[in-house]
Chain A
Amino acid sequence: MALIRKHPGAPAPAAAEDPLVALEGATAAERREAAHRLAGDPSAVGPLADRLDREADRSVREAILLALGRIGTAEAADSLFALLGSEDVWLRNAAIETLAEMDAAVIGALDGALSDPDSDRRIFAVNVLVSLRHPAAADYARRALAEDAHVNVVAAAIDVLAEIGTPEMIPEIEAAAERFPDAPFLRFAARAARRRIA
């Protein structure tokens, strides 16, 4: 018969090498495994972020991002926020995604990101809020709503509140749209948010 049984094999012995050394290894497989092994080590944030900066293989980058996400400390969150200014479009979007999966650790670092002089970075920071399983997430969005000078940041905040907001926030949302009379999109966004929240 054509079907051949092959046992998947005994679990391969754990790599003996220090994962920090393997992180700079010659093969992508080695570096990926090193990242997986470091996913439980909060002291590895620095080396992981450092490697990420120089890493060209996307699967290794992804493994490093996942490790930073799993480590989940404020330091890990900071290292990810630092990537929001990257010229590398994939990297900055993947960093946002990873942040959005990190919950509580992110909250501390959000403050800084939400005050970044670059409006696009503030948009990224606002977008992290929607997936955060944290009760303060909505409050951060409301702050951006009330205070941000840039129409697209306010738009992002409205989009977030449309999902995580509560009915008593509707007046704030509508007031925010009124701050930008030249942007019919914001009035639409406020109306849509009202429908989605109420």
Chain B
Amino acid sequence: MTAHDPRSAPVVSDSDFVRFRDFFYRKTGIMFADNKRYFVDKRLQERMLVSGQTLFRDYFNTIRFQASGQELQTLVNLMTVNETYFYREEYQFRCLVQSILPEVTRRKRPGEAVRIWSVPCSTGEEPYSIAFQLLDTWPEVDRYDIEIVASDIDTTVLDQAKRGLYGDRAVQHVPKPTLERYTRRVRGAYEVIPDIRDSIAFARVNLSDPLSTRQFRNFDVVFCRNLLIYFDDASRRDAAQTIYEALKPGGFVCLGHSESMSRISSLFELRKFTDAIVYQKPLSAEA
């Protein structure tokens, strides 16, 4: 065997792959198709080398039984794409404007608040995307007071989000007219205009701690995309609980495209709209 040759990659057999895939699917809901074999093997091999466990069986035991869950977490981070940019998973913003907000505002008087929470907001692309989309595409945007709250556990990215400075890659999916209207060029970067920057409330939050989010209440919509896949099962339920408590009855939550509430919590109802599947806190729920 070439296990002792430091230059050769550790072996991931066909049945290793299937076993790993089933396990990963159960843990995260993410299923790797056969054509992702190379993608998966490469990352497994990388971690096996780093952790000094070149036999798949040993490494597999680690990710399943390690008490801290650290290695599994590292692996999840590697296996998932964490790039953020403006208008990522845009179909959900379309859904927000076409389906969610019309329902939410059916019960509101003009001038009432519409509250939207973006968590995690990371470096701000998501809350600013929401703002741009509402201003550009929602006909009712002036009828209501829109409050956008943006949160993250990482204060460094929050600071960046507050500054609102972005490069070409981040804004590549934003239509030019929109970019011109809501940003200005600052030393080659795009800076979100002060009116919009100042209208978003940024706050640090730990979503897996229900007690730390007591002041986050009465939201109509929560965007919680591509965060919960990083949590273990218990923390996911905690986070879902936090989101539930943050929502008004009838409020909606949008998860990332490869995520589903089906593996996380039974508190929400399934709502299928034209552009997206989202989840709703039952209207009949006690606040």
Contact = CB atoms under 8 A, between A and B. Distances in A.
A53 interface: no
Interface string A33-71: 100110000000000000000000111001100100110
A10 B214 CA distance: 10
Given A4-B147, A5-B201, A164-B64, A12 B267 contact: no
A134 interface: yes
Given A9-B215, A66-B241, A163 B66 contact: no
Given A2-B135, A4-B199, A133-B65, A37 B211 contact: yes
Interface string A128-158: 0001011100000000000000000000000
A32 interface: yes
Given A2-B144, A28-B286, A66-B237, A8 B215 contact: yes
Interface residues of B, number: 53
A2 B286 contact: no
* Interface magnitude class on chain A: 35 or more
Interface in B64-115: 64-67, 69, 113, 115
Nearest to A1: B195
Contact of A103 (B15, B67, B147, B214): B67
A86 interface: no
B256 interface: no
A70 B234 contact: yes
B286 A27 contact: yes
Given A7-B203, A59-B241, 16 more contacts: A1-B195, A3-B135, A3-B199, A32-B241, A33-B214, A58-B267, A62-B267, A100-B233, A101-B234, A101-B237, A103-B67, A135-B65, A163-B22, A163-B23, A197-B15, A198-B15
A58 B241 CA distance: 11
Contact of A29 (B131, B203, B215, B287): B287
A179 interface: no
B15 A5 contact: no
B234 A4 contact: no
Nearest to A164: B64
Given A3-B199, A27-B286, A196 B148 contact: no
Interface in A143-193: 163-164, 166
A128 B68 CA distance: 19
Contacts of B201: 5-8
A3 B196 contact: yes
Nearest to A101: B234
A10 B215 CA distance: 7
B183 interface: no
Nearest to A130: B26
A187 B200 CA distance: 60
Contacts of B23: 163
